[in-house]
Amino acid sequence: MSKNSIIIPAFLLAGLALGYLLGGGHKGTGSNERSSDNPPLPVDNPFSPASDSERLAMLEDEVAQIHQQLAQIKQTLAASTDNTAASDADTLTAPTDTPAEHSSHRQPASSPPTNTLLNQRLYNLDNLIRGGIDPAIAEDIVRRKNHVELSRLQLQDKARREGYLDTQRYYDELEAINSNDVDLREELGDETYDRYLYNSHLTNRVRVSSVMLGSAAEEAGLRKNDIILSYNNKRVFNWRELKQATAEGELGEYVSITIVRDGSIYSLNVPRGPLGIQLGVARVEP
């Protein structure tokens, strides 16, 4: 075999190898080009500073909307209170007129009402003056009321420190303090108290929300939407006073109950004890 015949096949083999390598490299480049032409979709980083700013802005918007809604609600409540009449008065549903249960300890006979927002409004100096009470009388009432409240706080702190809170000793001492408590109704009298409640935009009537079938109230003739003025010839201005009145005296004893129905006043006879009615409240001009 000649030298040329050996060289030619060698060149052919080298050319084939080079072509194969060049072809594979071109395909790889094409693949990379296609990859660069179609990059993966970007994914938002939920913890990026931009996302925090967006979330903060959204929260601020929501808070602003909530404030606006609260302002609208307050305006609506104020308007509804100012325009309340007997026929469409506020009707806050209260529990039925069954007596409350007692704890194992003897509670003070003259337990004060719970220190609620209503109590704060009743014994507020500015509210008393705006309600038509003489400033000197109003200041004296609030000063004496605050003295009793401070005495209760001091007793509670002392009893907690000395370990006799919620014991008979505690309730005996509390009863002694409560005996000096200020009752705004007694201080002002029924007529002035009634006018004060109305001028202060507070409810001053008990309203019958519903009557249970077969109850003493149904037998006596009480109806839904009746306004109760008095029980046993004693004025009642809220459902708590009515519940307390029905629990007093001899069970089953008949007493008079005065109501307002469609603008007319009626007197009915009911037995002492639960009346079997659902109670509500109303604000009516005296």
Residue pLDDT, tens place only, 215-232: 999 999 999 999 999 999
pLDDT at 129: 87
pLDDT at 126: 86
Q: Between residues 29 and 157, which one has the greater pLDDT?
A: 157
Q: Which pTM does this prediction carry?
A: 0.54
pLDDT at 269: 97
Q: Which of 119, 88, 103 is nearest to 207 (CA)?
A: 88
Q: Which residues have a Cβ under 8 Å from the Cβ of 251 and sit 6 or more positions away?
A: 271, 272, 273
Q: Is the pLDDT of residue 119 over 80?
A: no
Share of the chain above pLDDT 90, in %: 47
Q: Which residues have a Cβ under 8 Å from the Cβ of 169 and sit 6 or more positions away?
A: 159
Residues 86-106 have pLDDT tens digits of 333 333 444 555 433 333 445
Mean pLDDT within 195-218? 93
Q: Is the pLDDT of residue 44 over 80?
A: no
Q: Give 83's pLDDT tier (boundaries 50, 70, 90).
A: very low
Contact predicate 209/224, CB 8 Å: yes
Q: Is the pLDDT of residue 166 over 90?
A: yes
Q: What is the mean pLDDT of the chain?
A: 76
Provide the token pair at 197: 């409640």
